[in-house]
């Protein structure tokens, strides 16, 4: 059995103003939100630290969970343009959310630098014969990407790309009854970044809260999302 570290935690503060979703992370409210620790290898400390930095911050209000991600990347690339493509065939950013921690079910969302998304519902993990439900769509989802450089142009050096997401709190209603969070509510959440390197047959998987194994579909190893009031 692989040794695993204690899942990380994040205090997600309430924002009094909606976030403008443009991928630029320049809303004043973001300045008060703390970054997560930098992502590590999915297996944790037994593997080297990722070569590029990734980090996330979050906020919430009556309607959305807001997620901002910053991905360092010297050559930003993406190819997939069809919704619900297998997005991790590109470099991507992924969100795993379990709003009902006592159940087996959870939700996954992946996005690439072309702002193409893939959303799916898992009634239980694959290891327990869970069958992904690709028919679930995040109704009302807002996403945007900003590239600090030039997309799909390897002749220059990019700084990276940023992702901004407004994830509706009622997006789960077609599959489950999920009460709206209040200060003190706790969800399970994790984030993954898939990075392909030319000449390397397998992708790197970098995550916020390490899984200890090469498998994101072990929700008990995800981090804790603590909904909090307004920042002081």
Q: What is the distance between the alpha carbons of residues 80 and 88, in angstroms, rounded to a whole number?
A: 10
Q: What is the distance between the alpha carbons of residues 187 and 98, in angstroms, rounded to a whole number?
A: 6
The predicted pLDDT at position 4 comes to: 65
Pick the range with the lowest mean pLDDT from 2-6, 9-13, 91-95, 102-106. 2-6
Contacts of 177 (CB under 8 A, 6+ apart): none
Please classify residue 179 by burial: count the beta carbons closer than 10 Å to its beta carbon, then call 0-12 exposed, 13-18 middle and 19+ buried.
exposed
Q: If you count them, how many residues does the chain have?
A: 232
Strands 186-195 and 223-227: antiparallel
For CA atoms 48, 23, 136, 100, the dihedral sign is positive
Tokens of 152: 């799909």
pLDDT at 3 over 80: no
* DSSP 8-state assignment for residue 214: S
Q: Which domains does the chain have, with CATH numbers?
A: 9-76+87-227 (2.60.40.1190)
pLDDT at 213 over 90: yes
What percent of the chain has a predicted confidence (pLDDT) above 90? 94
The predicted pLDDT at position 232 comes to: 72
The predicted pLDDT at position 199 comes to: 87
* DSSP 8-state assignment for residue 206: E
Q: What is the distance between the alpha carbons of residues 160 and 168, in angstroms, rounded to a whole number?
A: 26
Q: What is the pLDDT of residues 27-75, one digit of tens each?
A: 999 999 999 999 999 999 999 999 999 999 999 999 999 999 999 999 9
Q: What is the distance between the alpha carbons of residues 5 and 204, in angstroms, rounded to a whole number?
A: 20
pLDDT at 156 over 80: yes
The predicted pLDDT at position 230 comes to: 87
User: What is the model's pTM?
Assistant: 0.96
pLDDT at 169 over 60: yes
Q: What is the distance between the alpha carbons of residues 190 and 39, in angstroms, rounded to a whole number?
A: 10
The count of C-alpha atoms lying within 13 angstroms of the C-alpha of 80, restricted to the half-sphere facing its C-beta, is 18
Q: What is the pLDDT of residues 99-143, one digit of tens each?
A: 999 999 999 999 999 999 999 999 999 999 999 999 999 999 999
Q: What is the distance between the alpha carbons of residues 85 and 93, in angstroms, rounded to a whole number?
A: 14
pLDDT at 224 over 60: yes
């Amino acid at each position: 059995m692989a040794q695993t570290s204690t899942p990380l935690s994040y205090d997600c503060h309430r924002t009094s103003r909606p976030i403008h979703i443009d991928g630029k992370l320049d809303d004043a409210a973001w300045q008060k939100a703390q970054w997560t620790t930098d992502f590590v290898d999915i297996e944790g400390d037994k593997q080297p630290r990722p070569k590029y930095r990734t980090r996330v911050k979050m906020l919430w209000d009556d309607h959305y969970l807001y997620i901002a991600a910053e991905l360092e990347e010297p050559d930003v690339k993406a190819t997939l343009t069809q919704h619900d493509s297998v997005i991790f065939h590109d470099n991507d950013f992924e969100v795993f959310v379990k709003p009902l921690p006592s159940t087996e079910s959870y939700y996954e969302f992946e996005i690439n630098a072309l702002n193409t998304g893939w959303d799916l519902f898992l009634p239980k993990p694959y290891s327990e014969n869970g069958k992904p439900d690709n028919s679930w769509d995040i109704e009302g989802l807002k996403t945007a990407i900003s590239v600090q450089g030039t997309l799909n142009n390897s002749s220059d050096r990019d700084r990276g790309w940023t992702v901004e997401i407004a994830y509706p709190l009622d997006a789960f209603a077609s599959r489950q009854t999920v009460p709206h969070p209040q200060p003190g509510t706790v969800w399970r959440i994790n984030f993954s970044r898939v990075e392909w390197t030319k000449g390397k047959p397998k992708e790197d998987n970098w995550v916020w809260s390490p899984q200890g194994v090469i498998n994101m579909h072990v929700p008990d190893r995800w981090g804790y999302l603590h909904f909090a009031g307004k920042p002081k």
